[in-house]
């Protein structure tokens, strides 16, 4: 069984906060927690935005019975 295809993740140069060198597969510092690269940080941010949008749409659907996708 082949390994799952991993996206190209830039090699973290170390935690910007505590300078800990994490494993390259780590996207977040194992010691203090923040994203090790801007890509990971952006992904987290976009995930939050997506969730907000979904919540908003769901809210509209609940409030407006006429609302259809």
What is the Cα–Cα distance from 62 to 22, expressed in whole angstroms? Answer: 44
Could you tell me which of 19, 10, 18 has the C-alpha nearest to residue 37? Answer: 10
Is residue 30 a contact point for Zn ion (CB under 5 A)?
Answer: no
Q: For Zn ion, which residue of 32, 45, 52, 61 counts as binding (CB under 5 A)?
A: 32
Part in contact with Zn ion (CB under 5 A); list of ranges 5-13, 14-22, 37-45, 54-62: 14-22
Placement of tokens 């939050």 in the chain: 48
Is residue 31 a contact point for Zn ion (CB under 5 A)?
Answer: yes
Q: Least distance (Å) from Zn ion to the CB of residue 38?
A: 15
φ/ψ of residue 39, rounded to 5: -65, -45
Binding site for Zn ion (CB under 5 A): 15, 17-18, 20, 29, 31-32
């Amino acid at each position: 069984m082949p390994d799952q295809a991993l996206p190209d993740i830039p090699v973290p140069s170390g935690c910007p906060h505590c300078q800990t060198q994490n494993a390259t597969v780590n996207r977040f510092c194992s010691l203090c927690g923040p994203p090790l690269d801007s890509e990971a940080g952006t992904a987290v941010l976009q995930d939050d935005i997506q969730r907000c949008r979904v919540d908003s749409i769901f809210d509209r659907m609940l409030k407006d019975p006429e609302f259809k996708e």
